[in-house]
Amino acid sequence: MKSELSIDALAAETIDAIRTDAAHFPPHIQSRGRSYLAEGRVGQLEVERNRISATIRGRRNYRTIWQWNGDTANPRCTCPEGPICKHAFALARAIDGARHDREGFRSRGQGAALRGQARMRLIATLLLICAAVAHAQEAYPSKSVRLIAAAAPGGNPDVLARLLAAKLGDAFGRPFVVENVPGAGGVVAAEQVARANPDGHVLMLGDSGALAINPALNSRLTYSPLRDFTLITALAAVPTVLVAPSSVPATTLQEFVALAKAKPGAMTYGSAGNGSVHHLTMAVFASRAGIDMLHVPYKGGTALVAALLAGEVQSGWSGIPNVASHIKSGRLKVFAISTARRSASLPDVPTAIEQGYADFDIATVIGLQAPAGAPREVSARLQAAVAKILREREIAERMTNLGMELMENGTEHYVRFVKEDMERYAQAVKAAGVRQE
């Protein structure tokens, strides 16, 4: 026998339960469950013995089936997220228990079998929750995705964002639109993304500046990298190189240091902004080398390179993509690379370690982030798509030519890396005596 159930009251009770009993649900399920149910996107419920189905109204219909076998402890569902179903089932039983109390019925303990219409109402409530979740999963992305590059145009996050955007658009069937949000070493972009809706339609390509350096420099940041972001995957490690205009009278790192020592506080170095990796790298190097230089911050890596070419500053650490062509043309001279290994894109440039500065190994790592609470299935799909893109020969070769070392490694490893990166830069900031300016 098939029957139809009105869902209005059930939806209202489910929304209220999700709101008041939030501990059962991740944040994205709380908000999305309320949204889909409140908007009336869950359509007609049909009940036939131990089978219930619901149609979801959206970009396309999605049907979820709940198979009921009479065992209240072991429900089965075909919706994509089993763990959420378990939480949903527990919540649905709580809702049903409260309803029984109001109506003068009481169940006989956790294992008591629910009978007749009461059982079907319980399952229907549960199905509403699962159906809302399933629709949200199926529909991503439902619109264009904003890909925030925490850098000015031409900066490393921007370069990598533009490499990925078109490929991700093809993979997901929706545009991934790159937006440049420079400022304060990635803080401006990070604050914007941390406040965004965690539905996967706002993503960030942020680097160690936003996620590790600034937390070490500024204890009053409005965001926490581990609390306020879903860390989807690392993408690439980018070393920097110490460069100077061709007019600077030094050809080796030793000569550069000697020149700076001869003019304490007089020589200038530029960076991509206060708290940027360029700033911290020079601060650490200056501390190791025993030199005193004047810091001149700019708004992004492109502005820094322009200042170097114009002779406004006498040196600076820069990402390889921004300066490789100028090094080859002779407009800039290069003294060292910041990592322990030489770069395949500039194999003739020695490391600082090779030139007598032991353990000098600093790089910035670019990764893909979303606001905290982004759906796990969305993060997994993005991570898988990015991993596939980065394995493409054309992309891998382009990244190598730009001085980027592939670091795609998934969410679990990325979270662990960010924790280690935060500790590494906290120690570097302390050792160099750097303060946010």
Q: For 50-100, how does the pLDDT look when each residue is reduced to its tens digit (9 = 90+)?
A: 444 444 444 344 343 334 444 444 444 444 444 444 445 554 555 445 444
Cis preceding-peptide flag for 182 (omega within 30 of 0): no
Pick the range with the lowest mean pLDDT from 36-40, 123-127, 273-277: 36-40
Q: What is the pLDDT of residue 89?
A: 52
Q: Residue 104 — pLDDT band, cuts 50, 70, 90?
A: very low
Q: How many CB atoms lie within 10 A of CB 432?
A: 17
CATH number attached to the domain at 142-437 = 3.40.190.150
Q: Provide the pLDDT for residue 263.
A: 92
**DSSP letter for each residue of 36-66:** HHHTT-EEEEEEETTEEEEEE-SSS-EEEEE
Q: Higher model confidence: residue 159 or residue 148?
A: 148
Residue 364 pLDDT class (50, 70, 90 cuts): confident
Each residue's pLDDT tens digit, 287-346: 899 999 999 999 888 899 999 999 999 999 998 888 999 999 999 999 999 998 999 889
Task: Write the pLDDT tens digit of every residue in 1-32.
Answer: 333 334 444 444 444 544 444 444 444 444 44
What's the pLDDT score for residue 355? 96
Rounded to an integer, what distance in angstroms lies between the CA atom of residue 207 and that of residue 155?
11
Q: What is the number of H-type helices and E-type strands within the chain?
A: 16, 15
Residue 332: alpha-carbon gap to chain centroid? 34
pLDDT attached to residue 130: 54
200 pLDDT higher than 80: yes
- For the record, the structure tokens of 374 come out as 């982004």
Tell me the mean pLDDT in the region 110-137: 48
Please give the pLDDT value at position 127: 54
| Residue 360 backbone dihedrals phi, psi, to 5 degrees | -85, 105
pLDDT confidence of residue 66:
39
User: What pLDDT is recorded for position 321?
Assistant: 81
CATH 3.40.190.150 residue spans of the chain: 142-437
The more confident residue out of 181 and 401 is 181
Tell me what the pLDDT averaged over the chain comes to.
76
pLDDT, mean of residues 149-174? 89
Proportion of the chain above pLDDT 70, given as a percent = 67
Per-residue pLDDT at 136 exceeds 80: no
Name the percent of the chain in helix, strand, coil, to the closest 5.
Answer: 45, 20, 30
- pTM for the model stands at 0.62
Residue 322: its pLDDT value, please?
A: 86
Measured distance CA(228)–CA(326) in Å, rounded = 39
CA distance 398 to 65: 46
Q: Which amino acid is at 118?
A: A
Q: How confident is the model at residue 126 (pLDDT cuts 50, 70, 90)?
A: low
Whether 279 shows a pLDDT value over 70: the answer reads: yes
Task: Please state the rounded mean pLDDT for residues 201-217.
Answer: 92
Judged by average pLDDT, the poorest of 137-141, 327-331, 424-428 is 137-141
